[in-house]
Copies of this chain bind each other. A is one copy, B any other.
Amino acid sequence: MAIRLNAADPDFEARFVALLATKREVSEDVDSAVRAILADVRARGDAAVLDYTKRFDRLELTPATLRVGEAEFEAADKAVDERTRAALILARDRIRSHHERQKPVDDRYVDALGVELGARWTAIEAVGLYVPGGTASYPSSVLMNAVPAKVAGVDRVVMVVPTPDGVINPLVLVAARLAGVDELYRVGGAQAIAALAYGTETIKPVYKIVGPGNAYVAAAKRQVFGTVGIDMIAGPSEVLILADGDNDPDWIAADLLAQAEHDTAAQSILITDDAAFATAVEAAVERQLKTLPRGETAAASWRDYGAVILVDDLANALPLANRLAPEHLEIAVADPEPLLAGVRNAGAIFVGRSTPEVIGDYVGGSNHVLPTARSARFSSGLSVLDFVKRTSILRTGPEQLRALGPAAIALAEAEGLGAHARSVAIRLNL
């Protein structure tokens, strides 16, 4: 049973602050183990990657079998049923259409002085995509990471996935092919991150690494940051639902549990202005938990991190929502636009009673890689922008240099940078 808070209670602020401060992740200290693996792969290349794969995944590979080959893609293709394949294709197409709109536009213009300024966007040449193995090996995540990279124009999208005991999820292979992944290697953990960052004889290096992973993968990404770019380090998933009393309690309970089933560290929060509705949702959650395949996980998440918050008016939920800065925010009311307008911090917003967050996980078209752990206060979900970079362009002719040069010289001198001043002055015969 989740905790229940009431905004009218005198101790509400203290309890809400405690909720905000809840640490849901156990941070394992794996830094030194990871450092050793990175150094080893950097020094020994393929040989080290193969050694670690044998040790951690119980799998004997050779440089020739590191890469997943055409025959395996074909076998995977045959193993996937038509209904699932059609769903993957629908998802891929919708993600692609939506992300096409995110492509940034170059800008080049001449200002009033005659100075030419510009910004030119180019795709990153090579990107690595980490996909976890085992039960967290989601084909939808392959699409959500790889499709925006290809839309951006990345030349080489290189995917890595651990295959413990040689087992690989055929859906992941099919999704990789549908998304346009260019190379796929069966290697995981810190050794995979090292191979992507530094390159080996078989795996050419990439310039940026994205995708979720366990503590080792996260630590490895942090450590190679600088050598390559990385995306955000994702934490456990979370949802905040703002709902009035006119919702079906079973619908809202189902949405809370859809987050909770991800992980015992996931977090589901309901804010409502209707105490009877809150009680009905709590009862529906308990009822539904009994028939969920992942009921044990969901129950633990709901018990340890779930919360139901009562407010007198849903408008007063907005400041709380903005402080929580949830990864996912559902607004389940008849007229959601006024509440929507007041949200400043959220990864993604699902508007109205008929938009369960799960639609966004798969087929809405928007990205499901979103900022967790309150980081929507300062960061955004994955998009095409994560796979491009901007080069600024500046051009002054002799006339513009005469106009701007003296100010540049003044500032260079004020900063004590004589060669800076000279580089301008010499062109102006000063």
Contact = CB atoms under 8 A, between A and B. Distances in A.
A257 B424 CA distance: 12
Interface in A392-413: 392-398, 400-401, 404-408, 410-412
A15 interface: no
Interface stretch (A116-124, A160-168, A180-188, A274-282): A116-124
Contacts of A346: 391
A418 B254 CA distance: 10
A62 interface: no
Interface residues of A, number: 120
A383 interface: yes
A420 interface: yes
A380 interface: yes
Nearest to A90: B407
Interface string A333-347: 000100010011111
A392 B355 CA distance: 13
A385 interface: yes
A245 interface: no
B349 A139 contact: no
A4 interface: no
Q: How many copies does the complex hold?
A: 2
Contacts of A119: 102, 383
A288 B425 CA distance: 13
Contact of A261 (B347, B375, B417, B426): B417
Contacts of A365: 111, 115, 117, 394
Interface string A232-263: 01000000000000001011001101101110
Nearest to A418: B293
A292 B364 contact: no
A419 B135 contact: no
B344 A260 contact: no
Given A354-B427, A359-B394, A138 B366 contact: no
Given A90-B407, A361-B420, A343 B377 contact: no
Given A288-B422, A351-B393, A376-B389, 19 more contacts: A84-B414, A87-B407, A87-B411, A91-B407, A138-B415, A251-B423, A257-B419, A258-B422, A262-B417, A292-B419, A293-B416, A294-B416, A294-B419, A348-B394, A350-B394, A351-B394, A354-B427, A357-B423, A359-B404
